[in-house]
Every structure is written in structure tokens, then in C-alpha cells.
Amino acid sequence: MNKTVYLITLQDTGETFHCREDEFILHAMRTSRCGSIHCGCYGGGCGVCKMKLISGKVFQEKNMSREHITEEEKENGYLLTCCVKPR
């Protein structure tokens, strides 16, 4: 079965990278050496990988700590890239 691959663009730098539908965005970004996020916890608890989704959709597979993503931020498109996969 073929996996869908998405092209993701970081708005602030213009960098692009590919991410499979079954891959967390942070993992794909680090594998492609894109962006400036340093290793965090990879579990949704540290908040280091917080970004704002400008367009597109994601699937949230892991819970995001309310300490790092408030309900208001979530409603405004903020997410933790270690917890979501592209759709």
C-alpha cells in the first residue's frame, strides 16, 4: 500500500520537506535537517516544537500538554509537531 507524502513549507524560512502520512511532522523535519527545532521530548510535554498551522490539515495522534498549547492557541492553529501527522 502506498503512503501519501505531503510537501510541507516552513513559512518563516521558505524551507520545504516531505512528510509521509504515517510520520510525525517533527520527525520528518529533523530527518530532512529542516528548520531550527532542537531535540525536545518527542511526547508533547516540553513545547519546544510548537508551530502554527497556516494551511492544510493534521491528525493529532498524541495529546498535547495544555501547559504548552492552550485551548485558545489550539483554536488559532498552534500545535506541537511531535504530536501530529499531515493529512
What mean pLDDT, rounded, does the chain reach? 90
Q: What is the DSSP string of 9-49?
A: E-TTT--EEEEETTS-HHHHHHHTT-SSPPP--SSSSS-TT
Banded model confidence at residue 84, pLDDT cuts 50, 70, 90: very high
**Could you report the per-residue pLDDT of 42-79, keeping only the tens digit for each?**
777 788 899 999 999 999 999 888 888 999 999 999 99
User: What pLDDT sits at residue 14?
Assistant: 92
d(CA 77, CA 51): 8
Cα 56 to its chain centre, rounded Å, is 12
* Threshold 0.85, pTM exceeds: yes
Q: Which residue has the cell 493529512?
A: 87
